[in-house]
Amino acid sequence: MSRTGSSAVMAGLLVATLAGCADVPTLSAHSDRLQVVTTTGLLRDLVEHVGGGRVDVTSLVPDGADPHSYEPTLRDARNVVYADVAFSNYALLEERNVIKTLDANLQPEATSVSLAEESVKYAAEIIPLVENVNLDTVWLGLRAQGDGAERFGATRTSEVLVSATGATGPGDVHAYLTGSLGDTDVYLDSSDGFDPATGFKDDTMSLPADAHTHLSWAFTEPGIYTLDLAASVQVDDTSRPQPLDTATFTFAVGVDPAEAGMPDAAVLEEGHADLTANLETGALEVRYDAEGGGDHTQQAYPPDQVVIEVPAKALDEVPAGDEYRFLGRPGDRVYQLPQAVLGKHVHGEIDPHLWQNVRNAMAYVQLIRDTLIAADPAGAREYAANTSTYLAELEATDGYVRETIAEIPEDRRHLVTTHDAFGYLAAAYDLEVAGFVVPNPAVEPSLADRRKLAETIRTLQVPAVFLEPSLTARASTLTEVAQEAHIEVCPIYGDAFDERVTTYVQMMRFNADSLRTCLTD
């Protein structure tokens, strides 16, 4: 659909927030250079090395901010309007509103490239995002299976809506998400009923296509519950949702699942399960992985052939704080399936942090080169020369990271962090991700949580844990346990630069040095 510059600006006003316009570089319609926008500062740095003096480039997410949670500003929307080329990482890395701002405001004649997906053509290696959080209850999330492009014309800014339309049971049922800083978003609350006249406004959960997220599910009384859901697909902000399916899901809360009266049903009591809107078949279903998140073990069940168990051991207390008041008074008992991963953790099936393997960053750079040449053929020779020089620097960086980490004794190459962003680093350079901090999001970290983390550190004789500077405020459990174990808390960079580390090469070399220093001493 074509749109004029003025209409694109209006779209930007709709999808961008008023949350302050930082003093960042801006693009212009009057420059003779190629105008390029990236989603993150890391991608901006790669483009600057390839583009040199022929490009003006700015990033939507400023240095020091988290691309998983950043909310774009009006200036960001304006920059997109003037861009000739846009680069995102995607693979569901960036906050949804960042992608909406990019796609809604980019001119029809501009080029948009998702580097994570398209870099595979340049020999980038991707690894699946396998989640394996060892809970003693089922880990229940929400999933949109498939991209919906063929069936519905869905894009990466389309929404899959899952609305609760009814519930039965001896108490109330809630589904909510706890953010990284302790705030809560309530998506389902049966205590106030379900009114079709409101379009289920207060009981609707939303996902991008081909993604899933994690939720906490709480039940106020023991017994058998049913939950009626209706799924639909909204292709864009101007279209009406297209109905998908309706279904009823059954929960056994604090009682024997046999009381559900479904003798042939599968009982889900552990592992990772998702209530799923399947955009390929048009059905609502339960997708289940007993191993914790790998597609190779995943099974799909019709809702009427499965019972989700919320066992007696899931009994918990409502924590203090106004953000949990919807569950009841502090100290009230509720049965709860915890969210497991703290924060608004919406993602797809591949780990999006490809650049933690320098060879993948080299694939990004080659894709950036060819994209800039296509947009500005007159600069082909300069782009090619810049890329050749930069690839040599990245080749040396890859060797430096490999040699530096190789100096760490093999029995000490255990990585414990607060953010699951280092799978590529571990796979490429012979490290083991021993764990990342995932406290129960509904309560303060328990003594059991602390003991589990302390036991991991003690059993593996981990000499240090690693913390991203941008996540310092969210890492109290990690730092406290490290202090009690008398081990170091060392810096490591994942998604964002700051005043100390300002380029990709600096970041990778810094991380290698930090790992060697802290895991060897």
Query: What are the mean pLDDT values of the chain's consecutive 10-residue runs (521 residues total)?
Result: 34 38 68 96 98 97 83 94 96 86 95 94 84 70 90 90 95 83 79 70 84 89 96 91 96 95 93 92 90 60 96 87 88 86 55 94 98 98 98 98 96 82 93 62 45 75 86 70 85 92 98 96 71
Six token digits for residue 233: 């697909």
- For residue 360, tell me if it sits in a domain: yes
Would you state the pLDDT for residue 9?
Answer: 38
Six token digits for residue 311: 């066992």
For residues 101 and 221, state if they share a domain.
no
Q: HSE-up of 206 (CA within 13 Å, CB side)?
A: 13
Would you state the pLDDT for residue 260?
Answer: 95
- For residue 132, tell me if it sits in a domain: no
Compute how many other C-beta atoms are within 10 angstroms of the C-beta atom of residue 437.
Answer: 23
The values of phi and psi at residue 512, to 5°, are: -60, -45
Would you state the pLDDT for residue 444?
Answer: 43
- For residue 514, tell me if it sits in a domain: yes
Would you state the pLDDT for residue 70?
Answer: 85
- For residue 285, tell me if it sits in a domain: yes
Distances (CA, A) of 107 to 7, 26, 478: 10, 16, 45
Element spanning 182, H or E: none
For residues 324 and 251, state if they share a domain.
yes
Residue 73: closest CA among 15, 34, 127? 15
For residues 114 and 191, state if they share a domain.
no
Which structural domain range is residue 420 located in? 407-520
For residues 380 and 494, state if they share a domain.
no
For residues 170 and 255, state if they share a domain.
yes
Would you state the pLDDT for residue 13?
Answer: 38
- For residue 397, tell me if it sits in a domain: no
pTM of the shown model: 0.72
User: Which residue in this structure is represented by tokens 């949702």?
Assistant: 241
State the SS3 of 494-508: CCCCCCCCCCHHHHH
- For residue 165, tell me if it sits in a domain: yes
For residues 495 and 381, state if they share a domain.
no
For residues 207 and 100, state if they share a domain.
no
For residues 93 and 149, state if they share a domain.
no
Residue type, 341: V
Six token digits for residue 197: 């006249």
Distances (CA, A) of 239 to 159, 233, 235, 242: 11, 10, 6, 9
- For residue 347, tell me if it sits in a domain: no
β-sheet with 464-467: strand ranges across: 432-436, 414-417, 464-467, 488-491
Residue 276: closest CA among 144, 166, 147? 144
- For residue 396, tell me if it sits in a domain: no
Which bin fits 54, alpha (ψ -120 to 50), beta or left (φ > 0)?
alpha
For residues 270 and 149, state if they share a domain.
yes
**How many folded domains does the chain comprise?**
3
Residue after which a domain boundary falls, among 337, 369, 397: 337
Would you state the pLDDT for residue 167?
Answer: 96
User: Which residue in this structure is represented by tokens 């920059």?
Assistant: 79
Distance from C-alpha of 511 to C-alpha of 414, rounded to nearest angstrom: 14
User: Which residue in this structure is represented by tokens 């939720």?
Assistant: 215
For residues 431 and 373, state if they share a domain.
no
**CATH at residue 31:** 3.40.50.1980
For residues 213 and 318, state if they share a domain.
yes
Let me know: does 174 contact 335? Beta carbons within 8 Å. Answer: no
For residues 264 and 178, state if they share a domain.
yes
Would you state the pLDDT for residue 486?
Answer: 85
Q: HSE-up of 277 (CA within 13 Å, CB side)?
A: 31
Quickly list DSSP for 328-345: -STT-EEEEE---S-S--
